[in-house]
Amino acid sequence: MKVLDAKFVQDYMRMADDGFQMGWHERNGGNLTYRIKAEEIESVKDNLTETDNWVEIGTEVPGLAGEFFLTTGSGRFFRNVVIDPETSIGIIEVSADGTKYRTLWGLKDSKPTSELPSHLMNHEVKKRVTNGKHRVIYHAHTTNVIALTFVLPLNDEVFTRELWEMATECPVVFPDGIGVVDWMVPGGRDIAVATSKLMEKYDAAIWAHHGMFCSGEDFDLTFGLMHTIEKSAEILVKVMSMTNAKRQTIEPDQFRDLAKDFKVTLPEKFLYEKKDKTFGFADFN
Ligand code: 2HA
Ligand code: ZN
């Protein structure tokens, strides 16, 4: 089968375009990687080109040795993924020692995303902690989440709790919470290590003043997670624009009731008693 006819490639391109339509991918902002299933790579193997051009990843991911990924290209625009896929995206293979990759299809005049170390280290953690279920890592420049990183204390408890409070579905969609990484230089191993540590316990991590990383089983769930969190952040931005204190909100015991009915476990560290009705300001600084 031609690579572009494969369903996983079609689904990937649709998600990339959806992200662009949401306004999360200005210029070359954001990146998307998918860990390809054995039967999927088999279905397109006649259209892959093997070379000996192995390139350093910039970190080690032995847990992904021999895995194949569909990835956006460095400097490429999400806006162009559906228009010019062979230039904008490509298929890579990770070497047997997990330190290098080679390109097998696409990425014409390009290379994989500049955030490849973060993507692959996140994939390695998620593959391990979900027994291979998670396959998608998505990085987007979500406007409202970024805005919040200028005003909320940069910690997991405040971001999780405040975003949970903004929409009843949130604790059901991301019951484990959200992690936050302080501002760091993007593209390198340090930010990859910090993010992948958070991915041990969360499916979403916020990069202060930059954007968000989400992990999921498939394109729908991963896009849906990004969308839900960013929507909640939009509501929070609107509320904070109207007032410096909530008049009413969802209270800790109400979250506990919700958890029971929806059969999710909500860690108690996010259900702290607040000192006042501000946005975590009085509880954390
Ligand atoms: O260039 O979003 O973080 C794409 C990015 C870097
Ligand atoms: Zn980015």
Level-2 CATH architecture, domain 1-114: 3-Layer(aba) Sandwich (3.40)
Q: CATH class for domain 116-285? A: alpha beta
Q: Which of 32, 114, 138, 145 to mutate to test the pocket of ligand 1 (most atoms within 8 A of CB)?
A: 114
Q: Given pLDDT bands bounded at 50, 70 and 90, which one contains residue 97?
A: very high
d(CA 187, ligand 1 centre) in Å: 8
The atom number, within ligand 1, closest to the CA of 207 reads 3
Indicate which residues carry an active-site annotation.
115
Residue 128 token pair: 């391990």
Q: Which of 115, 185, 207, 226 to mutate to test the pocket of ligand 1 (most atoms within 8 A of CB)?
A: 115
Identical fold between 1-114 and 116-285: yes
According to the model, what pLDDT value does residue 88 have?
Answer: 98
- Ligand 1 neighbourhood includes 186 CB (under 6 angstroms): yes
Mean per-residue pLDDT over the chain, rounded: 97
- Ligand 1 neighbourhood includes 28 CB (under 6 angstroms): yes
d(CA 45, ligand 1 centre) in Å: 29
Q: What is the pLDDT of residues 105-150, one digit of tens each?
A: 999 999 999 999 999 999 999 999 999 999 999 999 999 999 999 9
- Provide the whole-model pTM: 0.98
The domain segmentation of the chain, as residue ranges, is: 1-114, 116-285
According to the model, what pLDDT value does residue 246 have?
Answer: 96
According to the model, what pLDDT value does residue 152 have?
Answer: 96
Ligand number nearest CA of 28 is: 1
Q: Which of 32, 77, 139 to mutate to test the pocket of ligand 1 (most atoms within 8 A of CB)?
A: 139
d(CA 75, ligand 1 centre) in Å: 8
**Is the confidence at residue 219, as pLDDT, over 80?**
yes
d(CA 50, ligand 1 centre) in Å: 27
